[in-house]
Amino acid sequence: MKYIIIVACSIFLFSSCNEKTLVRKKIGNDIVEAQFLNDSLIDGKAKYFNNTGILEAYYTFKNGVKNGNAVTFHENGKLKDSMYYSDNLLNGPAYKFDVNGKLLFTIMYYYGLDVGDHLFFKNGVVDEYHFNNFDQKQIVSCKYDSVGSCDSLVFNAYPLITNGLIEKQNPAIKMFIYFPHPPDFEVIYKMGFIKNQQRLQEFTLNSDRLFLDTTFAIPEKDVNHFLTVDYKNKSNDSTVNVYFKKF
């Protein structure tokens, strides 16, 4: 019994020593409650209050750099923005809400760059979608009706496929593909080998990401790679092939 008591006390002392100390400081127009390293760098979750004590936002830091979830609030306490930071750069989806808490739009970021899926909502239902590439051009766009079904789809997301030489003795094909994810659609990307218009083999690409940048070996003589992109509409269960190319 004595041994058990000693262990319990050791655990209590260990947890107490590692408990974070939160400090409130005036930074600019805000009062910040956080753990500070060297009396200046914020580490962990930091809450931001205005002069009247109302919570305005919180950010997550690691050694003074924004890393992790962040949110801001309207004056009435409703959620205003929700986002994620990687090394002080917006990364992943960012959400914007109105004063009543309804979602207005989401924008995708890739390490500080506004690239990827953009969704705009009306009365809680998706109203418009577009996908921005790294050059800030809309390569896919879609408009929706009042129940979230696609009214019109514009596709211009042609993959960048170039024949090149990675090394002189190793000829290879370079390929870059964006992966838009418009609501009301399942987008299916397939690659494989084709010979004399006959598909010898095919496989589905994992499109659960922003893009694919890859190289692969040139096939044997008289055999080509092919890439096809199909858009399957979930509302009416129809499928449209929007892209096919052999190379």
- Is the domain of 138 the same as that of 165? no
Distance CA 234, CA 121 (A): 19
pLDDT digits (tens, 9 = 90+) for 107-125: 999 999 999 999 999 988 9
- Look at residues 131, 155, 179 and tell me which one is the last residue of a structural domain: 155
Structure tokens that stand for 105 in this block: 């739009």
Q: Which of 80, 20, 91 minimizes the C-alpha distance to 48?
A: 80
For residue 219, give the CATH number of its domain.
2.60.40
Asked if 114 and 202 sit in the same domain, the reply is: no
DSSP calls for 136-148: S-EEEEEEE-TTS
Asked whether residue 15 is assigned to any structural domain, the reply reads: no
pLDDT of residue 4: 42
Q: What does the pLDDT read at residue 196?
A: 86
Please state whether 104 falls in left (phi above 0), alpha (psi between -120 and 50) or beta: alpha
**Is there a single domain that holds both residue 31 and residue 46?**
yes
Report which of 75, 65, 60, 68 is spatially closest to residue 92, judged by C-alpha positions. 68
Q: What is the pLDDT of residue 92?
A: 95
Residue pair 231/239 in contact (Cβ under 8 Å)? The answer is: yes
Residues 92 and 42 in one domain: yes
Residue ranges making up the domain that contains 66? 21-155
For the chain, the 3-state helix, strand and coil shares in percent, each to the nearest 5, are: 5, 65, 30
The answer to whether residue 16 sits within a structural domain is no
DSSP character for 3? Answer: H
Do both 31 and 148 map to the same domain?
yes
In a domain, 2, yes or no: no
What integer pLDDT is reported at residue 62 of this predicted model? 95
19: three-class secondary structure by DSSP: coil
Q: Could you tell me if 116 and 176 lie in one domain?
A: no
What pLDDT sits at residue 246? 85
**Residue 36 and residue 122 in one domain:** yes
- Residues of the chain with pLDDT below 70 are 1-20, 163-168
Residue 13 has phi, psi (to 5 degrees) of: -65, -40
Instruction: Give me the pLDDT at residue 138, please.
Output: 92
Same domain, 70 and 98: yes
User: Same structural domain for residues 182 and 234?
Assistant: yes
What's residue 170's pLDDT?
A: 74
Q: What CATH number is attached to the domain comprising 92?
A: 3.90.930.1
Give the pLDDT score at 164: 65
Q: Is 149 part of any domain?
A: yes
Is 28 in the same domain as 114?
Answer: yes
| Tally of structural domains, the chain | 2
